[in-house]
Chains A and B, each alone.
Chain A
Amino acid sequence: MAEGQSDTFWKSLYIYFNEMDFESQLFVKKIYKIIILTVAIISFIIAYFLERFSVCVYSTIGASVLCILVLAPAWPMWKKNQPNWQQANWQKQK
């Protein structure tokens, strides 16, 4: 009995972080490219004048980790525009 209950806990946690509504999906799809590209270009220019390429690589990887933590899981801020589902109408099936 206890195993079944912990299974549904992890499963429901996964489902919670998995579902994101459609408008924020479009937003996330645009914004991660913008963030990573601007960080990469600016840090490349800074690294060129400092003569250290490691600055560019570390900052790009750091920006991608930040994007993964904020944009990949479905936090409550990405669940604000839920679609309007229709009411289930059981009587029509008769």
Chain B
Amino acid sequence: MYSITARFNQIVFFTSWTLVVLSLLNQGTAYFFKTGKPTVDLKILSADKFHHFKATYYNGGVTDWDQVTFKFSLEADFEPVYNWNLKQLFLYVNVHHEHQDKGYESDCVIYDKIISRPDDPNSWSTSSKLVLKNQRAEYPLKDIHKQLRNATVNFEVWIEVMPYVGYIRREKLGDFEYKMPQQYN
């Protein structure tokens, strides 16, 4: 305390320490009081534009694949996850399909959405429920091995919880099976 730099130094780092302790308390009380699992319901309405695509590169090479664009409806309630430490949620719908005899499995994200806090002024909604009706998927599902006809695919709804202070965790909310059409349409 004998010089101006010593006093400045002590005040600044004491403040930093209190902020660290407050942040830990913030994260601790959030996990202590509210950890629930949101409910979600996903219905696949249609599998559109299910074709066999082909593309030619400028150097003469050719590649072909299966491609399909889905339309779905999704209902979810995020009330069990909301606490004062939550900044935003990142919701994404993942398609998982496996082929045992060919020996490969593949994951593909077809839709994602950022969900901010309900009391944020720029938020998408003021309630904690999400209702999507007849939503077209943003990204198509592609299979380079062309095994999508008559295949059983799994739709997984995932959520990524982003807090103000703390680590980011991912949670799987639900699994929904779907059988692809037999022929291209």
**B-contacting residues of A (Cβ < 8 Å)?**
14, 17-18, 20, 25-26, 28-29, 32-33, 36-37, 40, 44, 47-48, 51-53, 56-57, 60-61, 63-64, 67-68, 71-74
The residue on B at minimum CB distance from A32 is B11
The residue from B3, B4, B19 contacting A57, defined by CB atoms under 8 A apart? B19
Question: Would you call A67 and B1 a contact (CB within 8 A)?
Answer: no
Q: Which of B26-49 contact A (CB under 8 A)?
A: 26, 29
Extra contacts, 10 of them, besides A36-B15, A67-B11, A68-B8 (Cβ < 8 A), are A17-B4, A18-B3, A26-B1, A36-B14, A40-B22, A51-B84, A53-B26, A64-B11, A64-B15, A71-B11
Q: Which residues of B contact A18 (CB under 8 A)?
A: 3-4
The residue on A at minimum CB distance from B9 is A72
Question: Would you call A74 and B4 a contact (CB within 8 A)?
Answer: yes
A82 to B66, CA, bound (A): 87
**A-contacting residues of B (Cβ < 8 Å)?**
1-4, 7-8, 10-12, 14-15, 18-19, 22, 25-26, 29, 84-85, 119, 164-165
Question: Would you call B7 and A72 a contact (CB within 8 A)?
Answer: yes
Question: Would you call B15 and A60 a contact (CB within 8 A)?
Answer: yes
**What number of residue pairs across chains A and B have CB atoms under 8 A from each other?**
64
Quote the shortest CB–CB distance from B62 to chain A (angstroms): 56
Question: Would you call B12 and A64 a contact (CB within 8 A)?
Answer: yes
